[in-house]
Amino acid sequence: MTFLDEDDPRLRHRRDDIDTSVEAAHTTDTNLWFSRILKDMEDFPDGCIQDDILARYDEKWYGSITPRFAGLCRKNLIHRTEERRMARSGRRQSVMRLGPAPTLPATELEEIEAML
């Protein structure tokens, strides 16, 4: 089985994207943004929403920052909680925390499976 490397720039754009999107996918330093976001999240022990991180940067970086949260979740470096907070837009955003999502103890998992 082959695992796709999500850091591969070819996986950061669609096949039919225009040339500028393809170029951006190949020139964006995702590891730099991953590490910046993780460092910024350390300042939010109670978790943060995307707007909290975006507020630290010029809005021109919006397109470089927002896609990184999903990648950090896939890498199990952050997780989304059940909590929601109001964003600047007036809509609610998921609160994210550092580290993998907590797991339920085996006994709770068995109880949940028994209900299904």
- The tokens for 116 are 């299904």
Please tell me the predicted confidence (pLDDT) of residue 9. 66
Instruction: Measure the CA–CA gap between 40 and 42, rounded to whole angstroms.
Output: 5
Determine contact, residues 78/99, Cβ cutoff 8 Å. Answer: yes
Please tell me the predicted confidence (pLDDT) of residue 109. 63
Q: Hey, what domains does the chain have and what are their CATH numbers?
A: 9-115 (1.10.10)
What is the C-alpha R_g of the chain?
17
Query: SS3 for 28-68, per residue?
Result: CCHHHHHHHHHHHHCCCCCCECHHHHHCCCCHHHHHHHCCH
Residues 47-81: pLDDT tens digits?
999 999 999 999 999 988 998 999 899 889 999 99
Please tell me the predicted confidence (pLDDT) of residue 21. 75
Of the two residues 25 and 84, the one the predictor is more confident about is: 84
Please say if the pLDDT value at position 3 is more than 50: no
Please tell me the predicted confidence (pLDDT) of residue 1. 32
Predicted TM-score of the model (pTM): 0.73
Determine contact, residues 2/57, Cβ cutoff 8 Å. Answer: no
